[in-house]
Amino acid sequence: MKNFEKEFKKTRELIETAQKIVIISHRGPDGDAVGANLGLRLALRHQLNKQVASACVDPPPANCDFLPEVGEFVRDFDQAAVDLLIFVDCGARYMSKFHETKPELFSGKPPVINIDHHASNDHFGQVNIVDEDAAAASELIYYFLAFCGLEITRQIATCLLNGLYFDTGSFMHSNTSPAILEVASNLLWKGADFKTIAKRQFHTMPVKQLKVYGKILENARVNSKKMTISALRKADLESMNAGPDETTGAIDYLNSIVDGNFCCFLYEDRKGLLKGSLRTRADDIDLSNLAGLFGGGGHKKAAGFTVPGRLLETDGRFKIEGV
C-alpha cells in the first residue's frame, strides 16, 4: 500500500472536527461499496459518537442485506446540514450521481474526502486516499481504522471482509495479493462472519437469478477478435420478473470462456440507461481506458460504464441505439 500517513492524519482531523458526516457510495452499489461504507460508518458512529449517514442513489443489493445496519442507507441528504462528505469506492466524481441534483457538491463546502482504489479516479477530494493497487476500498478503510486506533469489531470486520471477498471474486482475481490475504486473515481473527459472506455473495441465488444467468449465457457470442459479448434487454428482465440485481456476477462466467481475450455484458436498466460491464484475464488489455471512452472507468481488468440508449439485435449482433 502507498504511504498515506499525511492523508490519514488530515482525514482524522476533519472527522474529529465534524459532527454530521455523510458517507457516499457509487450508484448501483456492490459488495465493496456497501461493505466499505458500513464499516466506516459503524466505527465513526459507535466509537466516535458522530452523526453519520450512508448515502447512495440506489439501494444496496440483496446479497448484502445481512450486513449490520444496511437498512439505514438513505437516497438523498441535505448538503447544507453536513459538515463532511466521505466518498468510498467512487471511481470518479460523477459515479455517485449526487452531483446531478447538488451542483455545489464539490465546492469544498463541506470538504470532501475521497477513498478509492480505481485507476480511473480523478482525485476530486480535498483529501484523496486513492491507491489503484489496493484490492478494494474496504482494504483502505481497514488501514485507516487501524491508523486511528479504532476497534475492528465483529460487525465492522464482517462489513470489510464482505468488500474484500466481493472485489477479489472470492479471492480468485489477480488482485488477490499476500497483503490482502493478511488483511482478510486479521478480519477473520476479529470475528468476521466469513461463512455467511461466502454463501451470500457467490454461492447462493434464487431460481429467478439462475434463469437470468441462463438467458445471459444463451445470448453470448464470441467474435473473430475473441471478444465475448452478451446482452439483456429490459423486456428480457421483465419477462422473468427480474431486475439488474439478478445480473450480478454473470460477467465472471463470460470471462471464464477458454481463449477469450475479454468480455462485455450489456443490459438495459429501469431508468432508460444502458449499463456495460467489462472483464479480462489478459495482462496486455486495459479495460479502464475502454470504459473511459464511454464515460466510465474502473480497473485494468474490470471496468464498467453507463450510457443513454437501448439495445437492438440484428442478425445475431447487438447494437446500441441512442448513444
For the CA atoms of the chain, what is the radius of gyration? 19
State the span(s) of the chain assigned CATH 3.90.1640.10. 5-201
- In the numeric block, the cell 456495460 is attached to 276
For residue 57, is pLDDT > 90?
yes
For the whole model, what pTM was predicted?
0.86
> pLDDT (tens digit, 9 = 90+) per residue, 114-156?
999 998 899 999 999 999 999 999 999 999 999 999 999 999 9
Sheet holding 273-280, edge to edge: 221-222, 227-232, 262-268, 273-280, 302-308, 297-298
Mean predicted confidence (pLDDT) in 78-96: 94
Residue located via cell numbers 502507498: 2
Q: If you search the block for the grid coordinates 464482517, which residue do you land on?
A: 158
Q: Cα separations (Å) of 106 from 19, 79, 155, 313? A: 19, 11, 31, 40
pLDDT above 90 as % of the chain? 65
Q: Give pLDDT, residue 323.
A: 58
What does the mean pLDDT of the chain come to?
92
CATH superfamily of 5-201: inorganic pyrophosphatase (n-terminal core) (3.90.1640.10)
How many C-beta atoms lie closer than 10 Å to residue 47's C-beta?
15
Segment 309-318 long-range contacts (CB within 8 Å, at least 24 positions apart): 309/273, 309/274, 310/233, 310/234, 310/268, 310/272, 310/274, 311/231, 311/232, 311/233, 311/266, 311/267, 311/268, 311/274, 313/231, 316/221, 317/221, 318/221, 318/229, 318/231, 318/266
Fold assignment, 207-321: Diaminopimelate Epimerase; Chain A, domain 1 (3.10.310)
Stated length of the chain: 323
Burial degree of 68 (CB within 10 A; 0-12, 13-18, 19+): middle
Q: How far apart are CA 318 and CA 60, in angstroms?
A: 30
**Looking at residue 212, what is its pLDDT?**
94
| Per-residue model confidence as pLDDT tens digits over 190-226 | 999 999 999 998 888 889 999 999 999 999 989 888 9
Distances (CA, A) of 256 to 129, 217, 227, 250, 280: 32, 12, 12, 10, 9
Listed in order, the ranges of the chain carrying CATH 3.10.310.30 are 207-321
pLDDT tens sequence across 239-267: 999 888 889 889 989 998 888 889 999 99
Give the H or E element holding residue 114.
strand 112-116
Reduced to 3 DSSP states, what percent helix, strand and coil does the chain have, rounded to the nearest 5?
40, 20, 40
Nearest C-alpha neighbor of 4 from the set 95, 108, 116, 88: 116
92-124 pLDDT, tens per residue?
Answer: 888 898 998 898 899 989 999 999 999 889 999
Asked whether the beta carbons of 113 and 86 are under 8 A apart, the reply is yes
At 259 the pLDDT is: 80
Residue 229: helix, strand or coil by DSSP? strand
